[in-house]
A and B are shown apart, each in its own frame.
Chain A
C-alpha cells in the first residue's frame, strides 16, 4: 500500500487539502491505522497550540495594539489616495530570457556596426540630394538611398580623373583595363 506523504497528512489534519486530495487521503486513513495515528498526532499538536494561543500575555494591552494597527491601516489608505494610480506591476522577465535577449542585441548591433556601409552611416542630417566624388566612384545620394557609378580600383590616384560642377554633376573618367576605352561616369542631381 502506498501511504500519503507526511505533508499531505499534516494538511489533511488541518483541513487544508483540496477536495480530491482530501477524498483520497480520507479513504486511505479509513483503512490504514498507521496513517490514522499520524493524522491524530497532527491534530493533537494543533489543539495544543490553539490552547496556548488562547492564553493572553498578561502584560500586553491588546486593545491599544488593535487601535494602533487600525490607525496605521487608515493612514495607508489616505496616503494611497493622494498619489496617482500605479500601473499594475508586470511579472519580471526570467533571467534566462533577459540574457538571451541581451546576447541577440549584441549580435545585431555588432553586425550593424561592422557591415553597415560607411556612407550610409554618414548620411547628413539634411536630406537634400547630394552628389559626391568618392574613392570608389561618383555618388548621388538622397537620404538613405544612393546610386553610385563605380570606377575600378585604380593603381594610382592619377588613373581616375574626377570632375564636379556647381550645377550638381559629378563625374569620374578612367581608361578601361580590358577595352582600353575611356569611360566617363556622371551622376546628376537633377
Chain B
C-alpha cells in the first residue's frame, strides 16, 4: 500500500471510530457517577439507592447521562417529618451549578421509610474529565413543629416553611368547605381548583444571569402596577423594569416595611401582560434585605427573563407585582391568605400550592373518599 493510501485509510479509521462513538450507548456504572452522602447525625438515613434504568449515551461529541434514581430514606429521628430537601451537585458538568430535589407535604412518623425520586440528565463534552459526576447530599429536613435540621445551603428551610404554611392554609380552606357545605361543597371546591389549574396560561421562561439583551427591538422602561394585600407586612411603592420584545430585565422595586419587626427576605410575585391583553405568571423577584420597622428598601435583580409560547416570542406589554412572601429576622414567614388570593387576576394566573396540587391530584386519581381520608389523617 502506498503512503498516500495509508493516510487515507488512517483518516477513514478515525472517522469510523467517530461514527461508532456517535451511536455508542450503554448502561451507566452508578458507583463512578453518583455519590450520596448524609451527615452522621442526620435524622434521615439512606436505606437503599436504586439506579434503575440509568444509562450513558455518547452523541455528537458530547456524552449524555440519564440518571433515574429512587432513594429510600428512613426517618431516624423522633419527630414527624414534613419535608426533605436534597442538594444535587454536578460541578464537573456545570461549574458552580447546583440543583435540589425537595419533597414537601410529607407526613413521615419516626422509624418509617419513604422514597425520593431523582431524575437527572447531564450533558457534557466528551473531552471533559472523569470522576463522580453527581453528588447528592442532604440540605434540610423540616419537622412538624417547623423546626429544621440541615446545612441549609439552598435556603430550603425558608422554602419548606413557606410550603408547609401554605399546606396548612389550604387544608384549612378545604376543611372549611367540607364543614360549611358538606362533601358536595368540598367536591365543588376541588373541581374549581382543577379547572383553574387546567386553564392557567403557560409560557416558557428562561433566565440569563448576565442580563444580556438578545432582542433587536428597542428597549423601554415600563412601570409595575401592584396588587395590594391589606395585611401584607410589606407595601410595594413603585417599580420598573426594562422591556424589549419578549424580554424583561433589571426589575427594580421600592418597598416599605409596614410592621414593627425586622425583615430579612422578601419575594415579589411578577405577572406579565402580553400585547393581546393576556396575563400570565412570569415568576418572582426574590431579595435578601435588611429592613427595619417602617424602613424602605429597593430590591433589584440584574437578570433578563425571556418568555416564549410554543417556541414563539411572547411580547411583554405590562407588568404587575404583589407581595408573595416575607421572612422576618426571627425566621417567621408570612404568606398571603386565601382571601388575598381571591383577586380575579391571581385566580387566573397563580399556581396552586404544593399541597393543593397534591390533594386535587389525589381526587382525580382516587376520588373524594381518598381526599377526605387525607384531611382527617393529618
Binding site for B on A (CB under 8 A): 91, 93-94, 97, 100-101, 104-105, 107-108, 111-112, 115-117, 119-120, 124, 126, 128-134, 136-138, 140-142, 144-152, 156-159, 161-170, 173, 175-176, 178-190
Contact = CB atoms under 8 A, between A and B. Distances in A.
B15 A144 contact: no
Contacts of B214: 124, 126
B124 A185 contact: no
A187 B197 contact: no
Nearest to B60: A116
21 contacts: A93-B8, A111-B23, A116-B62, A120-B60, A129-B208, A130-B206, A140-B94, A147-B94, A157-B202, A161-B197, A164-B283, A165-B285, A166-B270, A166-B285, A179-B115, A181-B106, A182-B355, A183-B103, A183-B117, A187-B97, A189-B97
A133 B180 CA distance: 40
Interface in B284-342: 284-287, 301, 303, 305
Contact of B197 (A94, A158, A163): A158
B284 A173 contact: no
B251 interface: yes
Contacts of B197: 158, 161
Residue picked from B12, B355, B362, most chain A C-beta under 10 Å = B12
Interface string B200-211: 101011111110
B301 A182 contact: no
Contacts of B172: none
A190 to B, nearest CB: 6
A100 B11 CA distance: 11
A178 B205 CA distance: 29
B131 interface: no
B15 A145 contact: no
A185 B59 contact: no
A184 B208 contact: no
B121 A100 contact: no
Contacts of A156: 198
Given A146-B122, A166-B283, 8 more contacts: A93-B4, A115-B22, A116-B60, A126-B214, A168-B207, A178-B117, A180-B362, A186-B99
Nearest to A139: B121
B208 A130 contact: yes
B204 A134 contact: yes
Given A129-B94, A133-B206, A165-B285, A149 B120 contact: yes
Among the interface residues B60, B103, B115, B163, which one has the most CB atoms of the partner chain A within 10 A?
B60
Interface of B: 4-5, 8, 11-12, 15-16, 18-19, 22-23, 59-60, 62, 64, 66, 88, 90, 93-106, 114-125, 128, 154, 163, 194, 197-198, 200, 202, 204-210, 212, 214, 251, 267, 270, 282-287, 301, 303, 305, 351-352, 354-355, 357-358, 361-362
Contacts of A131: 206-207
B121 A150 contact: yes
B207 A166 contact: yes
Nearest to B23: A111
Contacts of A166: 207, 251, 270, 283-286, 301, 303, 305
B207 A182 contact: no
The 10 A-B pairs of least Cβ separation, nearest first, read A164-B283, A116-B60, A166-B301, A150-B119, A132-B206, A128-B210, A175-B361, A97-B8, A161-B351, A148-B121
Q: Which among A140, A159, A175 has the greatest number of chain B C-beta atoms within 10 A? A: A175
Contacts of A136: 121
Contacts of A91: 4
Contacts of B116: 183
A164 to B, nearest CB: 4
A180 to B, nearest CB: 7
B207 A147 contact: no
Contact of B124 (A112, A126, A144): A144
A104 B14 CA distance: 10
Contact of B15 (A105, A149, A151, A185): A105
Given A166-B285, A182-B354, A190 B204 contact: no
A169 B18 CA distance: 37
Nearest to B360: A175
B119 A149 contact: yes
B104 A117 contact: no
B101 A145 contact: no
B98 A188 contact: yes
Contact of A179 (B16, B64, B117): B117
Contacts of A159: 361
B99 A128 contact: no
Contacts of B122: 145-148
Given A148-B121, A158-B198, A165-B284, A182 B357 contact: yes
Nearest to A111: B22
B282 A164 contact: yes
A136 to B, nearest CB: 8
A180 B114 CA distance: 11
Nearest to B212: A126
